[in-house]
Structure 1
């Protein structure tokens, strides 16, 4: 079956597809974000921008005015969420640059403080650990999303740094006793310098195979990167920093990502607040 999709259609009006799809070469990659499986050789549905010659046509009467062409690199969940919010304003080229999976770990229950560095840390920690094990412990979180994920599980938080950076947390934890940091396999090595801190990796991010379908093509007014991995994984997947050379202005979500991008030889800007939403608001003002 062939589905014809109007290239001007906002992603929020495109349905989720639970079967494998193939697609024409010039298809706007936004629509692949809502496809469960992508396979150019064996597929059950084929996506095209030919709405006249297809079995089903999904059309739009709206012809949006695109202010700028934006490369947006993140995980699929965030790509779908924010592309749906902003693709009527910007011409967005999404790149599914990372995915997440849990790693084996053993919980040390002797800590007085337990610190979560991301909502992924919350997600993968509680896939294996009963929330009751954190009773009578002080709980801290980095970032609004992490804090919200913990509150949704019924926790009252004892500390959330005003800035969404590990440096703010490190300063706070220096005089605390028996701290356990729940984080990713690749974490800020500054934690290791604190004698009162133990680090427990509970997940890792990796390059998904489907990144090959989202290869950045052409020139971009802006490039938005949600983490150091969102930048580095594109280079690893396609073998060079050519994509970065074709971006007029690179926007990093925060100081850590900015530092990493600049260590690769490129200039980067950051919004006042370290969130994806703020990155889009930052370029909207330009």
Structure 2
């Protein structure tokens, strides 16, 4: 008899939009799960203003540019193309996937940290760069300032520029509430604190807590886990490596440990 797949028939929240959900959903399906794509976070570029034009005009004055995500890369490069800025400073990326994303667009990455989280990046990047560097950090409107603050404390000059805004699509609110009414979610997966906050914006904090009590909760990264814990929500799966694949594998490990406990009892 074939052993059932670890996520067999479980409905799993995929909190990403169509452009970013495909590989996530395929991973869920590979393990027998049913992906439920409800984008809890979407992105839109800011308008080209004088501040952004000024930054692009002096792009060659920076020693490094730091990219924290694929979205940041895509959005920033779209502005560069508008202004025909072909050459960038040395590039640092938080994560191999962002490095690969840059490579696909013709840019080499000069630094990637051992762990894909701001605290580790800042520590290792500081040990890697020369004194008195000028660093540019394109970011979203809700991004943390930890990296910039740490670099400034060590005497580096840092410019941060918002290149995209994060928002919750209106249609996601309706779909999420419909799924909750039908109790059609078994596993909740959160990829950032923003996805948690947007979930609350869609259904309310009380409803999120009630749902979390019925579901397995998984997340990526200590900041996301901290946000969930601050709401009194237990996180069952939070991997040491901050990728979707590791989150899925960590969830499977949790489910299998529960299954073993049930059999022992």
Q: TM-score band (shorter)? A: 0.7 to 0.9
What does residue 39 of structure 1 align with? none
Structure 2 contact 176–203 (Cα < 8 Å) conserved: no
More strand by share: 1
Instruction: State the TM-score, normalized to the length of structure 2.
Output: 0.75
- For structure 1, the 5+ residue unaligned runs are 1-63
CA separation of 1:263/1:155 partners in 2, compared to 1, >3 Å: closer, same or farther? same
Distance 1:204 1:264 in 2: 25
Q: Does 1:77 align with 2:49?
A: no
Q: Does 1:202 align with 2:186?
A: no
What does residue 240 of structure 1 align with? 205
**SS at the partner of 2:38?**
strand
Candidates 81, 100, 112, aligned match of 2:63: 112
More helix by share: 2
**SS at the partner of 1:148?**
helix
Q: Which moved more, 1:137-146 or 1:256-265?
A: 256-265
What does residue 242 of structure 2 align with? 274
Tell me the alpha carbon deviations over residues 197-244 of structure 1, each in whole angstroms, 9 at most, x when there is no partner. 221221121111111123342164421111111111111022334134
In the TM superposition, what is the alpha-carbon distance from 1:125 to its structure 2 partner? 0.4
Distance 1:167 1:135 in 2: 28
Tell me the alpha carbon deviations over residues 22-67 of structure 1, each in whole angstroms, 9 at most, x when there is no partner. xxxxxxxxxxxxxxxxxxxxxxxxxxxxxxxxxxxxxxxxxx9825
CA separation of 1:162/1:140 partners in 2, compared to 1, >3 Å: closer, same or farther? same
Q: What number of residue pairs does the alignment pair up?
A: 224
Aligned ranges 1:70-219 → 2 under 5 Å: 70-87=12-29, 89-104=32-47, 105-106=52-53, 107=55, 108-109=58-59, 110-130=61-81, 133=85, 135=87, 137-174=89-126, 176=130, 177-193=133-149, 194-195=151-152, 196=156, 197-211=158-172, 212-215=174-177, 216-217=179-180, 218=183
Structure 1 contact 101–204 (Cα < 8 Å) conserved: yes
CA RMSD of aligned residues (A): 2.6
In the TM superposition, what is the alpha-carbon distance from 1:189 to its structure 2 partner? 2.1
Distance 1:134 1:259 in 2: 40
Distance 2:11 2:67 in 1: 35
